Amino acid sequence: MLLKKLKELVFGRAKGLCEYCKSPANISSQPFVIEHIIPQSKGGETVETNLALSCQGCNNHKYNKTTGIDTITNEEVNLYHPRQDKWEENFSWSADVLEILGNTSKGRVTVDSLKLNREELKNLRKLLAEAGKHPPKE
């Protein structure tokens, strides 16, 4: 029962969107997952402050990563943390809204590590934008 309530809380808090790439769960061909922001393999707990809604692609690319190397500064930085960081401070949409841009070191590392501009995501964003449903309204 507790896990069901946690899942409902995470899904509702994310408004049905992947908390990384902002893809909508309701049109995904694969079910979204509740992922551990700090992986269990690195001591992360199954508590609401450590859980995020994620599409399969972002979850698979993230795996157990928590940091990455920023290609501009060559420094190791933490990945975006949906419970501690604001998406709009770390990311923005390209002019055509098909790509996510990293505005900070953390944003750049997350875009690169999670492959937030995978070709299939750009195709989906294009279709959604043409239908007036992208970018998502927060």
Provide mean pLDDT across the span 15-24. Answer: 98
Q: Domain segments of the chain: what residues?
A: 2-130
pLDDT per position as a tens digit, 32-70: 999 999 999 999 999 999 999 999 999 999 999 999 999
Which string of DSSP letters, residue by residue, matches the chain? -HHHHHHHHHHHHTTTB-TTT--BGGG-SS--EEEESS-GGGT--SSGGGEEEE-HHHHHHHTT--EEE-TTT--EEEPP-TTTS-HHHHEEE-TTSSSEEE-SHHHHHHHHHTTTT-HHHHHHHHHHHHTT--SPP-
The pTM (predicted TM-score) of the whole model is 0.96
